[in-house]
Amino acid sequence: MKVKNLQNTLVSIIVPIFNVKAYLKECLLSFINQSYKNLDIILVDDGSDDESLEIALEFASKDERILVLSKPNSGQASARNLGLEFIKGSALREFLESESFIQKNNDFNSNENSSIQSFLKTHTFDKITKEISHTEIQKHFIKIASNFIKTDLENINELLVQNLPSRIIHFVDSDDYIKPDCIELCVKNMLEKNLEILVHNLVEFHESAKEFKNKPKLPTLKKLNKDEYNSGLELLSENKIYDFYFAWQGSFKSEILNRYNLRFTHAIFHEDHDFGTILFALAKKIAYINEALYVYRVRVASTMSGQKVKQMPQKMPSFLLELKPYFKDYQSLRAYFKAYCFVRLALVIEDFYNQMSLQDENFKLKFKTFFTLSTLTYLKIFKISLQNDPLDIKAFLAKFKLSKATILSHFFKDLHRQPKKLKFISNLKYLLKKDNQ
């Protein structure tokens, strides 16, 4: 289908920012230089203490398409979720940008009877709503300028979860950047092929060597046997992709999120695994283009590469700071927290399958094997001891509804392939604690 007036489609670019002053200008310039101009650029500063916020505000002062949000440091997931609630056209954004929201000497001009509709929680098909009064919202937000808003909320979804306006969304990490035609090609492909998700390739920039490295195909989708699928689950299940993640690897329609009140799981790392799996499981037509539209920076210190650092960082999200007294160094803290994150996200994926199965018996039968293997893939329970367990991973393991036979069959095969894991085989008892088959 040939698309006329391509630029009529508004695209929201959401960027979580934390202490990236060395890279942020290059990232933001890549948005300014896009061939596609109809952009809603949302920059979410997650409590930076370098000059990142100032750089974001400098760009916002010169481009009215940019909205800057500032929040307490609580991780990339929380920053992305705040950005989602602020996409242009959302009730929250319209209220906070309206003339009725004017702060004067800590008094607000607002109709106290006004409110915003919110779902009760994320990660559910339940569409029961509540009303969040404008007065309640005003307690948590300060409008510093027309395109600069501050909040005291670490987790926006504890306050509200909105039905998002129809939009194409693309996440970008603040130390990366996108090619000049990235958004144009995303929109063109999505509209012409009637897609709900468009995935593209990347090129890596290795900071230490100062060189670019091309990838024959996006690493998570290197098994693909074709480039278009009638659903995201068809893509994942046919290609047996059980360990999957998606956030900045392409663009998607906001309507997918509304089907399940889907957001990133708060207060974990690796949150793009459960988010990506469920996003694809909810999506209809999807396609992959093998064009490197995203430049992924491989740097020495980042969320992922920092796992080998032993010294405790001076600044950590609150959910990591609480763990500090329990561990002698940052490496052991991160190893424990990584195991916790994967258990949490596996539980989120299993819960989605169980909720979906209640609605659709055919879905339950057709995709049982896929979701079982996806869930089990993330249960990395043989890598650490659970004697020191401040987040109570043991209790989360007991919540899984997998049968004992399925668990034993999977993990005995795993132990046969990697016998070193026998060191922590006692962890298996927590997963077998109860059988809710």
CB neighbour list of residue 107: distance below 8 Å, 6 or more residues apart: none
Average pLDDT, rounded, for the chain: 93
Q: Is residue 187 located within the same domain as residue 320?
A: no
152 and 181 both lie in a single domain: yes
Q: Is 2 within the bounds of a domain?
A: no
Residue 437 lies in a domain: no
Q: Are residues 116 and 131 in the same domain?
A: yes
Inside any domain, residue 436: no
CA 234 to the chain's CA centroid: 21
Residues 59 and 193 in one domain: yes
Residues 290 and 345 in one domain: no
Would you say residue 216 lies in a domain? Answer: yes
pTM of the full structure: 0.95
Q: Which tens digit of pLDDT belongs to each residue from 30-72?
A: 999 999 999 999 999 999 999 999 999 999 999 999 999 999 9
Q: Please tell me what DSSP assigns to residue 313.
A: P
Residue 66 falls within a domain, yes or no? yes
Could you tell me if 181 and 282 lie in one domain? yes
Phi, psi of 169 (to 5 degrees): -120, 140
pLDDT in tens, 135-186: 999 999 999 999 999 999 999 999 999 999 999 999 999 999 999 999 999 9
Query: Which of 285, 292, 301, 238 has its CA nearest to residue 50?
Result: 301
Q: Which helix (DSSP H) or strand (DSSP E) does residue 368 occupy?
A: helix 368-378
Q: Phi and psi (nearest 5°) for 200?
A: -125, 170
Stronger pLDDT, 222 or 355, i.e. the higher one: 355
Do 39 and 181 share a domain, yes or no?
Answer: yes
Residue 382 CB coordination number (10 Å): 19
- pLDDT at residue 435 in the model: 47
* pLDDT more than 70, % of the chain: 93
**Does pLDDT of 303 surpass 70?**
no
Residues 379 and 264 placed together within one structural domain of the fold: no
Same domain, 328 and 424: yes
Number of domains in the chain: 2
Last residue of a domain, one of 297, 325, 341: 297
In this structure, the answer to whether residues 241 and 364 fall within a common structural domain is no
Q: Which domain, by its residues, includes 109?
A: 8-297
Within a domain: residue 108? yes
Does some domain include residue 3? no
Q: Per the domain annotation, does 121 fall within a domain?
A: yes
User: CB neighbours (10 Å) of residue 100?
Assistant: 13
